[in-house]
Amino acid sequence: MSFSVLGTGMYVPPRVVTNEDISKLVDTNDAWIMQRVGVKQRHISTNETAADMGCKAAIAALENSGVKKEEIDLILTASVSGESISPSVSCMIQNKLGVNCMTMDINAACSAFVFMLETAAGFFARGKVKKILAIGTERLSRIVDWEDRGTCVIFGDGAGAVVLEAGDNYMDAVFHVKGGDNVIDIPQPIGKSPFYEKEQKKPFIHMKGQDTFKFAVNAICHDTKQLLKQNNLTFDDIKYIVPHQANQRIIDFASVMLKVPKEKFYVNIDRFGNTSSASIPIALDEMNRQGMLQKGDLLLLPAFGGGLASAACLLRW
Catalytic residue numbers, as ranges: 110, 244, 274
Residue 146: CA atoms inside 13 Å, Cβ hemisphere, count? 11
Q: Does 250 bind ligand COA (CB under 6 A)?
A: yes
Smallest separation (angstroms) from ligand COA to the CB of 152: 8
Smallest separation (angstroms) from ligand COA to the CB of 47: 26
Q: Residue 302, preceding bond cis, omega within 30 degrees?
A: no
Q: Are 161 and 179 in contact (CB under 8 A)?
A: no
Smallest separation (angstroms) from ligand COA to the CB of 207: 6
Q: What span, in angstroms and rounded, lies between the C-alpha atoms of 194 and 212?
A: 34
Size of the site for ligand COA (CB under 6 A): 21
Q: Kindly tell me which residue out of 39, 92, 110, 269 binds ligand COA, with binding defined by CB under 6 A.
A: 110
CA of 278: how far to CAs of 191, 228, 293, in Å?
Answer: 28, 24, 19
Q: Does 209 bind ligand COA (CB under 6 A)?
A: yes
Q: Does 153 bind ligand COA (CB under 6 A)?
A: yes
Q: Does 216 bind ligand COA (CB under 6 A)?
A: yes
Residue 279's nearest CA partner among 305, 253, 257 is 305
**Who's near 270: CB < 8 A, 6+ residues apart?**
38, 39, 40, 41, 248
End-to-end CA gap in the chain: 15
- Give CA torsion, residues 240, 125, 115, 291, to 10 deg: 30
Smallest separation (angstroms) from ligand COA to the CB of 311: 12
Residue 276's nearest CA partner among 108, 74, 125 is 108
Smallest separation (angstroms) from ligand COA to the CB of 179: 16
Smallest separation (angstroms) from ligand COA to the CB of 227: 19
Buried b (16+ CB within 10 A) or exposed e, 281-303: bbbbbbbbeeeebeeeebbbbbb
Q: Does 28 bind ligand COA (CB under 6 A)?
A: yes
User: In this chain, which stretch among 3-11, 43-51, 64-72, 204-212 interacts with ligand COA, using CB under 6 A?
Assistant: 204-212
Q: Does 305 bind ligand COA (CB under 6 A)?
A: yes
Q: Does 150 bind ligand COA (CB under 6 A)?
A: yes
Pick between residue 150 and residue 203 the one whose CB is nearest to ligand COA.
150
Q: Does 212 bind ligand COA (CB under 6 A)?
A: yes
Q: What span, in angstroms and rounded, lies between the C-alpha atoms of 234 and 300?
A: 11
Site string for ligand COA, 39-78 (x = CB under 6 A): ----------------------------------------
Helix/strand/coil for 191: coil
Q: Which residues bind ligand COA (CB under 6 A)?
A: 28, 32-33, 36-37, 110, 149-150, 153-154, 207, 209-210, 212-213, 216, 246-247, 250, 274, 305
